[in-house]
Amino acid sequence: MRVRSPEFKTRAVAALSEVDLQKALRQGKAGFQGKRASAISVVPEWQQIRSDAKLMKDHALENLDHYLLQYEAAVQANGGTVHWAPTAVDANRIITELCTAADAELVVKGKSMISEEVALNDALEAAGMQVVETDLGEYIIQLAGEPPSHIIAPAAHKTKEQVSDLFEAAHGGPRIDDRAGLVTEARQVLREKFLNADIGITGANLFVAETGQHLLVTNEGNGDLCSCVPKIQIVITSIDKVVPTLEDAAATIRLLARSATGQHISNYTSFYGGPRGEGELDGPEQYHVVLLDNGRSSMLGNAFKDMLRCIRCGACMNHCPVYGNVGGHAYGWVYPGPMGSVLTPNMVGLEDTLDLPNACTLNGRCAEVCPMSIPLPDLLREHRRLQFQRGLGSGAARGALAVWAKAALRPRLYQAMSRPVIKTLAIFAGKRGAYKKLPGLAGWTSQRDLPAPQGDTFMAQWQAEQRNKS
Amino acid sequence: MNGREQIIRTVRRSLGRDSGPAAPQVAALEHRQASRPRHARPSVGPDLVAQLKQQMARVQMTVTELNNSDQLGSAVAEFLQEHQLPLAVTISPELSDTAWPETLEVHTGAARAEDLSSVTACLCAIAETGSIVMAASPQSPATLRFMPDNHMVVLRRAQVLSHLEEAWAVLRAQPGSMSRAVHINTGPSRTGDVEQVIEIGAHGPRRMHVFLID
């Protein structure tokens, strides 16, 4: 997928005036936040469940090589095959070869962010296969020719009318206007695909070293039809998703559904671990797992290690004021919102993603709601630090920062320079206490008022206070 | 160097090692796994069946309580009549000993494209979440829980457990090994992908009904 993150600013501005998008974002935000809050309010043990899961995942990552090799051995014992893909290109090559070897014509897919990350559909289509997304949201955006705008609700940006338009064009009408009718039509169209598919490809929410199983969570049941009906099952996942035992999987399951959709558990929480056994009447004849690295093994050793705990619930973006206003497409790649702004620079490079870590108010809500306690604002700040260190970003901003840093290291000079400015701003603001416009600050004041300083500098007020006390 | 070696080598370099964990650490990891780490869980009330039923109602699962398994056949027929469905079911082989009414057309095996209704047994149920746990085997084909519009499940009161972890214990105690496929299903299929409004019956069953037997 083409990286459009360098266009963040222009696309964000455009998003603010898209009426349908703004309507969809408002609906989505209220729904996600409310459902999560009410699901957590009935679990007094929430913080303990959260901290246990964090410790568990840190343990798994500290011993990642051990658990990956144990997992591979367990899958082999179950009769399946593990394929290792250091890069996106490797993953696409491996899966294309598996499909070609099976003479596959039709591939059905469950929603997988990893397959979006490697742009698997493009690779399979280039090899002449028909690829059909079966998660309703993914199916909608596949018809629209768009990338997902949210990691768990890929079509969160589409209104019902837009879905009606897409279905009418793709299915040949008649036009259906009601939601239930649209769902039924997709069910009928896609059921044919499940029954005729040669291969089913899904992602995995995690995989278990102890048993060699992967976990697949859906609410529609499409992932299970992909996994149970076609003759060949292929799973694409990434190395960070290993957990040691089924007990550790349960700890993650508890956090995932509540954080994502506010459910106590997802409708279909399924563990798969190999091809059909002797005497079984259904199930795939082949079971393949592709383990993608794509930079994660390096992140394990740098400042972004904590990001590898992410379970892709989407809570951070559901509570982010920036995501809530500009939507997922503005971010310009696969992963949007706070988790995306941490991951994307790691995967596509700092140079093409300069705006992402800066499009953040550092209000900290993402870290508060993150079930795996990932310090997202700290990681975004780390990207900003790296940008500065490597001399990236606008010259004006860097110059201003350098001047500020020099002054800030000299307290007397800093006081002498800042105090007159602050006092003047306080006096001219008058009773209003804020500025609607200021020369040179249009970037700020075009969207909101600039609050005026309160009379004098903090240092001056503090010293006055101390004098009064003594 | 193949992909596997490349990934494992980078992982180890990031962890500050040249090789796998040292022997004492491996022993500690094996001990952790064998001792089944215990993580915090939501508390579950003393009446497991009551909590199960409450959680099932939250997710639009329906329940019929039966005094004994002799009533199962007629209860299935009644459910089909109540929903104006054809009197035909596909059952999993594990239920083939059931006495089915003569009016009911019964097929045993995996799901066929045309099947509207299925009846299966289950491994256990989870009060914590209102879930039914099923393990795939020659006696229990997985497609029966996903393809038909109506999925009926036979559950005994003694099979109701508190948490997911108790289900793992049942699975591990199964003859042979862990099942190839374990399904934890919690209510009929649903989607919120059109404007975040929940619609029932996306790809899997539109109805999930439990016969709870004493």
Give the per-residue pLDDT at A329. 96
Query: Do the Cβ atoms of B10 and A297 come within 8 Å?
Result: yes
- At residue B175, does pLDDT exceed 80? no
DSSP secondary structure string, B14-81? Answer: HTT-SSS--HHHHHHHHHHHHT----------S-HHHHHHHHHHHTT-EEEEESSGGGHHHHHHHHHH
Q: Which of residues 112-151 of A touch B (CB under 8 A)?
A: 134-137, 140
Q: Which two tokens stand for residue A449?
A: 């008022």
With tokens 């940006």, the residue in question is A157
Mean pLDDT (whole number) for A200-216:
97
pLDDT in tens, A241-284: 999 999 999 999 999 999 999 999 999 999 999 999 999 999 99
- At residue A124, does pLDDT exceed 80? yes
A68 closest CA partner among A319, A261, A309, A244: A244
**Interchain contact A76–B (C-beta under 8 A):** no
- The predicted complex's ipTM stands at 0.97
Q: Which band of pLDDT confidence, cut at 50, 70 and 90, is reported for residue A469?
A: confident
- B-interface mutation test, from A92, A267, A286, A306, most B Cβ less than 10 A away: A267
Strand partners, B134: B183
pTM (whole model) above 0.90: yes
d(CA A328, CA A337): 7
d(CA A393, CA A196): 51
Q: Which residue of chain A comes nearest to B183, CA vs CA? A: A270
Residues comprising chain A, all counted: 470
- At residue B170, does pLDDT exceed 70? yes
d(CA B200, CA A131): 25
Q: Which two tokens stand for residue A452?
A: 């005026």
Q: Which band of pLDDT confidence, cut at 50, 70 and 90, is reported for residue B176?
A: low
d(CA A297, CA A239): 8
Give the per-residue pLDDT at A160. 92
| Cis bond before residue A174 (omega within 30° of 0) | yes
Strand partners, A109: A133, A201
Mean pLDDT (whole number) for A90-106:
98
Give the per-residue pLDDT at A460. 87
In contact, A236 and A118? CB cutoff 8 Å: yes
d(CA A347, CA A46): 32
Mean pLDDT (whole number) for A311-326:
97
Q: Which of A9-23, A207-221, A222-236, A432-446 has the lowest mean pLDDT?
A: A432-446
DSSP secondary structure string, B141-159? Answer: -GGGGTSSSEEEEEEEGGG
Give the per-residue pLDDT at A162. 93
**Interchain contact A241–B (C-beta under 8 A):** no
Cα atoms in the Cβ-side hemisphere of radius 13 Å centred on A2: 4
Q: Which band of pLDDT confidence, cut at 50, 70 and 90, is reported for residue B141?
A: very high
- At residue B83, does pLDDT exceed 80? yes
Chain A residues touching residue B18 (CB < 8 angstroms): none
Count Cβ–Cβ pairs < 8 Å, chain A vs chain B: 269
Q: Which band of pLDDT confidence, cut at 50, 70 and 90, is reported for residue A456?
A: confident
Give the per-residue pLDDT at B177. 63
Q: Which residue of chain A comes nearest to B139, CA vs CA? A: A280
Return mean pLDDT, chain B.
96
Q: Which residue of chain B comes nearest to A42, CA vs CA? A: B42
When CB atoms are compared, the residue of B2, B111, B195 closest to A27 is: B195
pLDDT in tens, A289-315: 999 999 999 999 999 999 999 999 999
d(CA A368, CA B43): 23
Strand partners, A237: A291
> Does residue A70 or residue A431 have the better pLDDT?
A70
Give the per-residue pLDDT at B195. 87
Q: Which of A34-38, A416-420, B25-29, B111-115 has the lowest mean pLDDT?
A: A416-420
B184 closest CA partner among B131, B121, B122: B131
Chain A residues touching residue B39 (CB < 8 angstroms): 49, 52-53, 56, 247-248, 250-251
Mean pLDDT (whole number) for B81-106:
97
With tokens 């009426």, the residue in question is A19
Give the per-residue pLDDT at A429. 84
Tell me the nearest-neighbour CA distance from A246 into chain B, angstroms: 7
Pairing state between β A268-272 and B181-185? antiparallel
Tell me the nearest-neighbour CA distance from B74 into chain A, angstroms: 27
Chain A residues touching residue B109 (CB < 8 angstroms): 281
d(CA B190, CA B59): 10
- At residue A169, does pLDDT exceed 70? yes
When CB atoms are compared, the residue of B21, B180, B184 closest to A276 is: B180
d(CA B195, CA A32): 12
> Does residue A282 or residue A456 have the better pLDDT?
A282
Return mean pLDDT, chain A.
95
Q: Which residue of chain A comes nearest to B7, CA vs CA? A: A86
pLDDT in tens, A44-61: 999 999 999 999 999 999
Query: Do the Cβ atoms of A183 and B191 come within 8 Å?
Result: yes
When CB atoms are compared, the residue of B38, B40, B204 closest to A224 is: B204
- At residue A453, does pLDDT exceed 90? no
Chain B residues touching residue A156 (CB < 8 angstroms): 196
Q: Which band of pLDDT confidence, cut at 50, 70 and 90, is reported for residue B21?
A: very high
- At residue A12, does pLDDT exceed 80? yes
CA dihedral defined by A349, A355, A360, A362, rounded to 10 degrees? 70
pLDDT in tens, B60-81: 999 999 999 999 999 999 999 9
Q: Which residue of chain B comes nearest to A272, CA vs CA? A: B181
Query: Do the Cβ atoms of A239 and B38 come within 8 Å?
Result: no
Give the per-residue pLDDT at A288. 98
Chain B residues touching residue A265 (CB < 8 angstroms): 129, 131, 184, 186
Q: Which two tokens stand for residue B98?
A: 């059931």
Query: Do the Cβ atoms of A227 and B205 come within 8 Å?
Result: no
Q: Which residue of chain A comes nearest to B143, CA vs CA? A: A228
Coil vs helix vs strand at A99? helix
Mean pLDDT (whole number) for A127-156:
95
Residue burial A399-428, b: 16+ Cβ < 10 Å; e: rest: eeeeeeeeeeeeeeebeeebeeebeeebee
Q: Which two tokens stand for residue A443?
A: 């970037």
Query: Do the Cβ atoms of A221 and B204 come within 8 Å?
Result: yes
When CB atoms are compared, the residue of A52, A90, A182 closest to B40 is: A52
Give the per-residue pLDDT at B1. 75
pLDDT in tens, A334-380: 999 999 999 999 999 999 999 999 999 999 999 999 999 999 999 99
Q: Which residue of chain B comes nearest to A209, CA vs CA? A: B33
SS3 per residue for B119-139: EECCCEEECCCCEEEEECECC
Return the amino acid letter for A407. Answer: A
Q: Which residue of chain B comes nearest to A294, CA vs CA? A: B7
Chain A residues touching residue B205 (CB < 8 angstroms): 221
A253 closest CA partner among A32, A56, A41: A56
Q: What is the DSSP letter of A380?
A: H
Percent of chain B with pLDDT over 90: 93
Chain B residues touching residue A62 (CB < 8 angstroms): 15
Give the per-residue pLDDT at A446. 83
Q: Which two tokens stand for residue A349?
A: 């490079």
